Amino acid sequence: VRNPHSVDRYTGGSSSGPAALVSSGLCSGAIGTDGGGSVRIPSSLCGIVGLKTTFGRTDMTGVVCDAGTVEVASPLTSSVEDSVLLYSALAGSRPMDKLTLRPSLLCVPNLVSSENSKILQSVKVGKYTEWFHDVPDNEVSNTCEDALNLLCSTFGCQIEEIILPELEEMRTAHLVSIGSEAFSDMNAHYQAGRRTEMTLDTRASLALFKSFTSADYVAAQCLRRRIMYYHMEAFKKVDVIATPTTGMTAPKIPPSALKGESDYVVSAKLMQFIFAGNLLGLPAISVPVGHDKQGLPIGLQLIGRPWGEASLLRVASAVEV
């Protein structure tokens, strides 16, 4: 799929089709799935809004990997207001998720309320500066930082410095979790002789995922529990955590990629900030905040507490303004 802002650029994956449709103006909203940033990354690269909901907020019945613990169905839209509308229509937990996860009641913000400015004055935005600026392109972090400063000067929000330990360990735990779960769901098709229907890059990924052991998966879940503790400690100080959505803007598509490609260097830069939303099941949203010198979109990511979509959407709407 080609990026509407530059047809020789990626749209990001894996919900690239919905992102390109919305960015092109062919529709106001679409649905994607986010297991490793697959809603937020294409939203950032295509200059639209991508909301990744709390794990268990949407019914995943019928999705290929519906038995996993990292993936959710979520909206990609042209604006935060459209995101509120599509999220409201899409939300609804499965009975087993209601029993085990106990989601809070669905709540959406009134974005035109006169109380919004007063509410936003009390919002504290967490920023781990060392992580925030750990990007190959300073244009990305500087643009996101300008958006945060404008948010604070306009609405009176406060930026609080936080520290989130073990970010590299979080990346590894996510890879083992999503890889093991994806292989579990796809293995029956793989063993049934349908591997030739899969692209070379998909087959390479499944070969990697097949190498993970049960001990690896259990270790990843132990890491998940510890990293969740670090984030919940941060949420005692702040209401949302802000990062760039991606570490770079849309990269060029090399001609060789048309036959299938596994570029893990580029993938790592695109996925750098998305792991907490998936591994920990936290809600997160990408909002467009500007463009680089080549005219390519830059997205700011906001991460919220579990079931905190309403607060996240309110702050995202202020950023969008």
**Is residue 178 predicted with pLDDT exceeding 90?**
yes
Q: Is residue 3 part of a domain?
A: no
CATH number reported for the structural domain that contains residue 24 in this entry: 3.90.1300.10
190 has a pLDDT exceeding 80:
no
Q: Are 4 and 23 within 8 A, CB to CB?
A: yes
53: in domain: yes
Q: How many CA atoms lie within 13 A of 109 on its CB side?
A: 24
Give the model confidence (pLDDT) of 200-222 as tens digits: 888 888 889 999 999 999 999 99
Query: φ, ψ for residue 141 (rounded to 5)?
Result: -70, -35
pLDDT at 179: 95
* Average pLDDT taken over every residue of the chain: 94
Whole-number Å distance between alpha carbons of 300 and 290: 9
- The pLDDT, as a whole number, for residue 269 is 93
Mean pLDDT across the stretch 299-304? 98
Domain residue limits at 269: 16-319
Structural domain count, the chain = 1
| Pairing status of strand 124-127 against strand 158-161 | parallel
**Could you tell me which residues are beta bridge partners of residue 32?**
74
> Distance (Å, rounded) from C-alpha 123 to C-alpha 240?
8
Is residue 9 in some structural domain? no
pLDDT confidence of 272, banded at 50, 70, 90?
A: very high
- pLDDT for 242 beyond 90: yes
- Residue 199's pLDDT is 80
